[in-house]
Amino acid sequence: MSANYDQLLDATLQHLQELKSRGVRYVPVSPETLRALSQPGQNPPAARMASAPTPSQSGIGIRKLGPDAPALAVGELPLALPGEPQSQIVNPKSPIEKAAGFAELRQRAMVCVKCSHLAASRKNVVFGVGSIEAGVMFVGEAPGADEDEQGEPFVGKAGQLLTRIIQTMGFSRDTVYIGNILKCRPDTPGQSAGNRKPTPQEMQTCIPYLHEQIDLIRPKVIVALGGTAIEGLLGKTVGITKLRGQWQTYRDTPLMPTYHPAYLLRNQALSEKRKVWEDMLAVMERLGMPTSEKQRGFFLKG
């Protein structure tokens, strides 16, 4: 618990420093959090917080943002893209609240035994990796053997390809968020290798964790990798070959369906790489990122 707390505190301070380096001087904090933070000794986290550097010592002021706070204050945070609906930026959770919510969610998922067969066969729960402040979130199907071994999503062959795609877009694994529909590897009884698709029952049981991750991160764009991600997030069983490249909506968030990187490993045709890359160019455009001519030209025939 205290190691978790220290981790959380480190992550929070690091995040505040990063915001500060980007010129942010105020972060929104709910009245409840402000109250908790200003009552040292009332409960263990608040007491420990009091002995650690406070956000104001790190040079960032905390401004109270309640229902009656001026709407202008929200505009001081670089949270919205031009033209983004206001509803996405009204009352966002503060970084502290987000980090705390995420740590609590992770703790619940890490000890989950709702699918007892998967809890019995897994080596690790694969919760997710990346930044909880990410603008873009990649969602796959489920951990494979490598991911189960390492406790991290997309680290096997398909994962390495996804990592390259992410880097070619100008991101890194640390600046996006990567997760899966299932947090545990689908078991393969009687087989020592191979993967199987999650069952509808497993997906239904596990998906609330992903919903909570998305609700906390509030990415500007979700990329759904392959048919299972689409089925899990949108409940659509229309084939991925029909849906890819066409913007969908998950709650209020734009969602781009594209092929799973494992498919690109099975089908090495340039045309298939180009389709996925065009989907990623559309994502970058949606995020307001400039693309170079070189980037736009990748995987086109010479």
**Min. distance of Cβ 233 from ligand URA in angstroms?**
13
Burial state string for 132-146 with b = 16 or more CB within 10 A and e = fewer than 16: bbbbbbbbbbbbbeb
Least distance in angstroms from the C-beta of 220 to ligand URA: 22
Which residue number, 180 or 213, has a Cβ lying nearer to ligand URA?
Answer: 180
Binding interface with ligand URA (CB under 6 A):
140-144, 147, 153-154, 156, 158-159, 180, 226-227, 240-241, 259-260, 263
| Packing angle, helices 2-21 and 44-51, rounded to 10 | 50
Closer by beta carbon to ligand URA, 152 or else 221: 152
CB of 120 to ligand URA, least distance (A): 20
CB 173 within 8 A of CB 165: no
DSSP secondary structure code for residue 76 in this structure: G
Q: Are 124 and 110 in contact (CB under 8 A)?
A: no
Closest C-alpha among 257, 204, 255, 199 to residue 227: 257
Please report how close the Cβ of residue 146 comes to ligand URA at its closest, in angstroms: 7
Comparing CB distances to ligand URA, the nearer of 135 and 232 is 232
Question: Nearest-CA neighbor of 219 among 63, 92, 109, 29?
Answer: 92
Chain position whose Cβ is nearest to ligand URA: 140
CB neighbourhood size of 230 (10 A): 25
Cβ neighbors of 25 (< 8 A, separation 6 or more) are 60, 61, 76
Give least dist CB 130 to ligand URA, A. 12
Kindly state the smallest distance separating residue 195's Cβ from ligand URA, in Å.
8
- Which residue, 28 or 143, has its beta carbon nearer to ligand URA? 143
Q: Which is nearer to ligand URA, 90 or 110 (CB)?
A: 110
- In terms of CB distance, is 62 or 141 closer to ligand URA? 141
CB of 280 to ligand URA, least distance (A): 14
Provide the terminal-to-terminal Cα distance of the chain, rounded to the nearest Å.
56
The structure tokens listed for 254 are 């734009």
Going edge to edge, which strands form the sheet with 177-180? 129-130, 177-180, 136-140, 221-225, 253-258, 248-250
Question: Considering beta carbons, is residue 95 or 159 the nearer one to ligand URA?
Answer: 159
